Amino acid sequence: MGKPTGFMEYCREIPADREPLERIKDWNEFHLHMPEENLRTQGARCMDCGIPFCHTGLLISGMASGCPINNLIPEWNDLIYRGHWRQALDRLHRTNNFPEFTGRVCPAPCEGSCTLGINDPPVTIKNIEVSIVERGWQEGWIVPNPPKVRTGKKVAVVGSGPAGLAAAAQLNKAGHNVTVFERADLPGGLLMYGIPNMKLDKREVVLRRIKLLEDEGIIFVCNTAIGGSDYAVEKLRSEFNAVVLATGATLPRDLPIEGRQLQGIHFAMDFLTANTRAVLNKGADFISAKEKDVIIIGGGDTGTDCVGTSLRHGCTSVTQLEIMPRSPEQRAADNPWPEWPKTHKIDYGQEEAAAQFGADPRTYLTTATRFEGDADGNVTAVHTVEVAWGKNDKGQFVPAPVAGTEQVRPAGLVLLAMGFLGPEQQLPDAMGLERDPRSTIKAEYERYTTNIPGVFAAGDCRRGQSLVVWAFNEGRGAARECDRYLMGATELP
């Protein structure tokens, strides 16, 4: 695919971002777009490899290798190289309901397993993906396409995050009447409130797609929590022929050390959610980092988003504590292609912090030991210690404090970004669903059936905290199995 010799003639190129010191002054998306000529050149680098791993979606060493939704990447790279944008969009939509989301927030495991990446920079897949779909919106090619025939079956989707939206879109295509229940005030779940606006614009991108889904016949019911006083489980089961649970894994991991009760210590997602509400609704309350020393405990995308958000508030300083060691600059010997490359990366938040304060905010191999506060109960400092990883008597790798490395770091705001333990348990308890040892809803992968007939589970509530693209994979799969349950057979992929 692409130009046969393109990978030898052209270098990898990605679009420029807005300058860090400029973009931290607003909440607008920071990625810029590339001209069509440059995009076609990047498509030409796709090398027509004999066995393309970019679209395999395999799990290798517990991580995604290739695209989990099996995007037909070499095919639409070739179409872009040849200038066939409409055909490229059709090919992209065959596997991905929402490429404008993955093209912005997916870490691109496809690029990590690109064959060219064995000895050269990989093909620029993610940027081509988002460029295809945005061209589709601009040209008016993406329009409502409601099903021509309705089956008369009613399906409830609980949760409107990436897994729920993917399930709803596919079930609606199959002709079922789909209602999506969301406990927040706006649909989108993680896409709406878990990812900051500068990475994924809510009005211009998320709500644009939600409006299209509504025009195709999907009903969204917000401010409604299933399993409580808002909407009883019994009512849900009696009014719908099937239910798909896509509630996410929103139970945050806590840090129960001395001083945890002090004011000014918050879970990262509470901080990010309140901020997005304030961006969308001027005057709404939010947790401010303005003129505060901010300590973020935890890494990953959530930690980075806390860094970027704190900078936009006007924090005095920002420090990110990571208990793990710094990743190597190049693949380690035990991390070969086509595994996801566990290499050191500088994300947008760290780039902005370095521009503002002169250094990457991350401190590795460090953990908090206690929080210190003032007489009014407000956090004022975080006590930390460096750690060394080694095996305990059970052969497990665990961190141990390194004597003499204790520090006291000033803090006016502490954000806990240490990941999630699984789904909140109220709804599974109310429905009598079986759980696995991780507290996630028990449902076999590729079948998605729970212990209750007609009730399916998909996304993070089934697999645990994961990528948006895995949520799309599971939402589409759960829709397929739900359709099979309702109709006896299915044509959904």
| CATH code, domain with 35 | 1.10.1060.10
Query: What range defines the domain where residue 359 resides?
Result: 254-418
d(CA 344, CA 261): 34
Please report which confidence band the pLDDT of residue 283 belongs to, taking 50, 70 and 90 as the band edges: confident
Structural domain includes residue 15:
yes
For 234, the token pair is 């019994």
Under 8 Å CB-to-CB from 32, ≥6 apart: which residues? 15, 16, 17, 18
Alpha carbon separation from 75 to 78, 90, 110, 167, 220 (Å, rounded): 5, 11, 14, 25, 34
Burial of 377 (0-12, 13-18, 19+ CB in 10 A): exposed
Q: What average pLDDT does the structure give for the chain? A: 96
Parallel, antiparallel, or unpaired for β 407-410 and 379-391? antiparallel
Whole-angstrom distance, CA of residue 142 vs CA of residue 145:
9
Q: Which of 363, 395, 418 is the last residue of a domain?
A: 418
pLDDT at 50: 84
Same domain, 266 and 389: yes
Residue 147 inside a domain? The answer is no
CA distance readout (Å), 85 to 67, 309, 446: 21, 35, 32
- Taking only the tens place, the pLDDT of each residue in 193-240 is 999 999 999 999 999 999 999 999 999 999 999 998 889 999 999 999
Place of tokens 């490429």: 99
If asked whether residues 268 and 411 sit together in one domain, one would say yes
Integer Cα distance of 326 and 389 in angstroms: 13
Q: Is residue 145 part of a domain?
A: no
pLDDT in tens, 434-455: 999 999 999 999 999 999 999 9
| pTM reported for the whole predicted model | 0.95
474/453 same-domain check: yes
Residues 75 and 182 in one domain: no
Residue 457: give its domain's CATH number. Answer: 3.50.50.60
Last residue of a domain, one of 112, 139, 166: 139
pLDDT value at position 61? 87
Angle at 101 between CA 97 and CA 104, to 5 degrees: 145
Q: How confident is the model at residue 382 (pLDDT cuts 50, 70, 90)?
A: very high
Provide the pLDDT for residue 4: 86
Percent of the chain with pLDDT over 90: 94
pLDDT value at position 1?
59
User: What single DSSP character describes residue 263?
Assistant: B
What is the rounded distance in angstroms from the CA atom of residue 145 to the CA atom of residue 125?
A: 27
Residue with tokens 């509400």: 277
Confidence class of residue 352 from pLDDT cuts 50, 70 and 90? very high
**Do 396 and 448 reside in the same domain of the chain?**
no
Examine the pLDDT at 241 and tell me if it is beyond 90: yes
Other C-beta atoms within 10 Å of 344: how many? 12
One domain, residues 354 and 280: yes
Contact 40, 83 (CB under 8 A): yes
> What pLDDT, in 10s, does the model give residues 92-137?
999 999 999 999 999 999 999 999 999 999 999 999 999 999 999 9
Pair (407, 427) in one structural domain: no
pLDDT of residue 409: 98
117, part of any domain: yes
pLDDT in the model for residue 64: 87
Asked if pLDDT for residue 17 goes beyond 90, the answer is yes
Tokens of residue 415, six digits: 């954000």
Whether residue 32 is contained in a domain is answered as yes
Q: Let me know if residue 149 belongs to a domain.
A: no
Q: Do 376 and 265 belong to one domain?
A: yes
- Does 493 map to a domain? no
CA distances in angstroms from 180 to 12, 50, 93, 163, 453, listed in the order given: 41, 42, 21, 11, 19
Q: Which amino acid is at 58?
A: L
User: 194 and 172 share a domain?
Assistant: yes
CA 125 to chain centre: 17
Q: What is the reported pLDDT for 489?
A: 98
- Percent of the chain scoring above 70 in pLDDT: 100
DSSP single-letter state for residue 59: E
- Nearest CA to 446 out of 96, 175, 68, 165 is that of 68
Rounded to an integer, the average pLDDT of 269-297 is 96
- Domain for residue 492, yes or no? no
Lowest mean pLDDT among 229-238, 256-265, 300-309, 401-410: 229-238
The pLDDT value recorded for residue 141 is 98
Same domain, 240 and 290: no
Listed residues 418, 446, 477: the one ending a domain:
418
Q: How far apart are CA 244 and CA 164, in angstroms?
A: 8
Q: Are residues 397 and 431 in the same domain?
A: no
Number of domains in the chain: 3
Q: Are residues 276 and 402 in the same domain?
A: yes
